[in-house]
């Protein structure tokens, strides 16, 4: 079995994401494949910045908006390239995830701390 990991710039936009899909499909023809996908480019940095800004009382909204935009552009690009792509379903999922992130950030703002923040950098 092969384990293939992709993240960052390799899944930064729809074109690159589809290239990853081609690589996975090609490898799957040769045998079993396990896949690990990590965050698209800049998402991890935005998540860390959201936490750090929230702890320090700064506005994390620009980072939230940028991260939401990255995912919206990724999903829109995939929908344009792939007939039958479940855009509405995935947009709903991403929206729910960002609602959860905002909920967690609100909790961090109330506490003024985040235990895992010191391990993020």
Q: Could you read off the pLDDT of 11-51 as tens digits, one per residue?
A: 999 999 999 999 999 999 999 999 999 999 999 999 999 99
Dist CA 53 CA 59 (whole Å): 6
pLDDT for the residue numbered 118? 57
Q: What is the number of structural domains in the chain?
A: 2
**Do 112 and 80 lie in a common domain?**
yes
**Do 48 and 22 lie in a common domain?**
no
**Do 52 and 97 lie in a common domain?**
yes
**Do 47 and 80 lie in a common domain?**
yes
**Do 46 and 9 lie in a common domain?**
no
Q: Residue 116 above 80 pLDDT?
A: no
- 105 Cβ contact partners less than 8 Å away, ≥ 6 residues apart: 50, 51, 54, 60, 64
Token code pair at residue 2: 């092969």
SS3 label, residue 113: coil
pLDDT for the residue numbered 7? 95
pTM, 2 dp: 0.89
Residue 47: domain span: 42-121
pLDDT for the residue numbered 10? 97
**Do 48 and 32 lie in a common domain?**
no
Q: Residue 56 above 90 pLDDT?
A: yes
Q: Residue 88 above 80 pLDDT?
A: yes
């Amino acid at each position: 079995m092969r384990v293939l990991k992709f993240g960052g710039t390799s899944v930064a936009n729809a074109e690159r994401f589809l290239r990853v899909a081609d690589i996975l499909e090609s490898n799957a023809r040769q045998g079993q494949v396990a896949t690990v996908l990590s965050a698209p480019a800049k998402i991890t940095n935005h998540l860390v910045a959201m936490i750090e800004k929230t702890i320090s009382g700064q506005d994390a909204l620009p980072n939230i908006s940028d991260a939401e935009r990255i995912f919206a552009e990724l999903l829109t690009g995939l929908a344009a390239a792939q007939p039958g792509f479940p855009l509405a379903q995935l947009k709903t999922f991403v929206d729910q995830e960002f609602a959860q992130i905002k909920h967690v950030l609100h909790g961090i703002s109330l506490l003024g701390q985040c235990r895992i923040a010191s391990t993020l950098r």
